[in-house]
Structure 1
Amino acid sequence: MNLKLCDNLVYARPNGGRIKLPVEVIASIHGYIQNDRHKPEGGGVMLGRYIIDSQDVVIDKISFPMPGDRATRTTFFRKKRAHQQVIDRAWEASNHTCTYLGEWHTHPEPHPSPSSIDDTNWKRKLKNDIVDSDSLFFLIVGTSEMRMWEGHRRSRTITMLKLL
């Protein structure tokens, strides 16, 4: 992967805010990169916080593939209950500040783009997931770069975010 593990990634949101992916989170994802042809996709949920009086968001932690998740070279389906327990524990441990922000998964391609399955799943999440925000974030980790999208719950539009 071409990303330096000493750098945070910061993406520009369409509303003028930013979303920060700290180096610690990047490092924890690094082991799931599909850099050999037999490695299956990995994924989980992203947890973090909205910065008060701004449009900025920080991803503080992620969940990792768990028993019961299903993965092949080109698919990842997470088991809801196990990941929901991670979300609930983080929410309680943070005094209700660390919340569900969205999903992440890997792709076996250098410059990842959402598949039709990703697009369908993301739109379903925008419609059905119960969250306090109008946005959900979706990170795809490729073999050369990480790309982030923001989905808007009201309009069901999904926009690729620009890396700053």
Structure 2
Amino acid sequence: MCHDRVFSFPGSDYYVLIKSDVLGGFYSNIQNKCFKKEAGGQLFSRNINANPIVIERSTGPYPSDQRGRHSWKPNKEQLIKDREALFKNGLYVVGLWHTHPQATPHPSTIDRSTCEAHASLLDSSYNGFLMITVGNSGSPPNLSVYFSDRKTKNWYSLTEKTL
């Protein structure tokens, strides 16, 4: 059984809470075997600028995604379908998640560019966009959680806190 996890923004009281159901989806796609490919999807919350940002839903991966051991390229049409369907249920996209075949994951340059490209398509009410990378070891599995600030273009690493 997995539990919710909390990650705080540097130098502030803001934080992200990732619900256990969402984490279960991440964990089921961990690249803990040499033949497992990267997997990923989108992250959804009811309020894009609330404190906390509660990640209560994720999507993906899909068979139509392009996946390799060291790459994940989502099906853009499916991303749009997910956003439209979940918006009807009061959920807004707040980021992307994907796996990496490493113990302590960090977003690559390509990951950052992908995240920034997705964020640029959103309306101006968004302060930024999250990128969660799931590692292949740890108990619970290691996560890196980053926030891309739309105004400054800076990337901030969030720190895990105990509940």
TM-score for both structures, normalised by structure 2: 0.88
1:30-70 deviation line (CA, Å, top 9, x unaligned): 11100000100000100112288x53200011111113210
- Note if 1:130 corresponds to 2:117: no
Task: Evaluate the alpha carbon distance shift between residue 64 and residue 13 of structure 1 in structure 2; reply closer, same or farther with a 3 A threshold.
Answer: same
Residue 61 of structure 1 aligns with an amino acid whose one-letter code is: R
Matching of residues 21-32 of structure 1 within 5 Å:
21-32=18-29
User: Where in structure 2 are there 5+ consecutive unaligned residues?
Assistant: none
The one of 100, 103, 114 aligned to 1:110? 103
Are the aligned partners of 2:38 and 2:69 in contact in 1 as well (CA < 8 Å)? yes
Q: d(CA) in 2 for partners of 1:159 and 1:49?
A: 22
Residue 15 of structure 2 aligns with an amino acid whose one-letter code is: R
Q: Once the 2 structures are TM-superposed, how far is the Cα of residue 104 of structure 1 from its aligned partner?
A: 0.4
Match of 1:154 in 2: 151
Where 1:76 maps in the other structure, the secondary structure is strand
Task: Evaluate the alpha carbon distance shift between residue 36 and residue 102 of structure 1 in structure 2; reply closer, same or farther with a 3 A threshold.
Answer: same
Residue 160 of structure 1 aligns with an amino acid whose one-letter code is: S
Q: d(CA) in 1 for partners of 2:114 and 2:83?
A: 19
Are the aligned partners of 1:42 and 1:76 in contact in 2 as well (CA < 8 Å)? yes
Match of 2:113 in 1: 120
The one of 7, 17, 25 aligned to 1:20? 17
Are the aligned partners of 1:50 and 1:56 in contact in 2 as well (CA < 8 Å)? no
1:90-135 deviation line (CA, Å, top 9, x unaligned): 11123xxx10001000000010011121122223334x22143111
Match of 1:42 in 2: 39
Residue 27 of structure 1 aligns with an amino acid whose one-letter code is: G
Residue 106 of structure 1 aligns with an amino acid whose one-letter code is: T
TM-score for both structures, normalised by structure 1: 0.87
The one of 52, 56, 66 aligned to 2:52? 56
Q: d(CA) in 2 for partners of 1:146 and 1:100?
A: 19
The one of 133, 141, 144 aligned to 2:134? 141
Match of 1:78 in 2: 74
Where 1:93 maps in the other structure, the secondary structure is coil
Question: Superposition RMSD on alpha carbons, in Å?
Answer: 1.7
Report % sequence identity.
23
Are the aligned partners of 2:2 and 2:23 in contact in 1 as well (CA < 8 Å)? no
- Note if 1:65 corresponds to 2:57: no
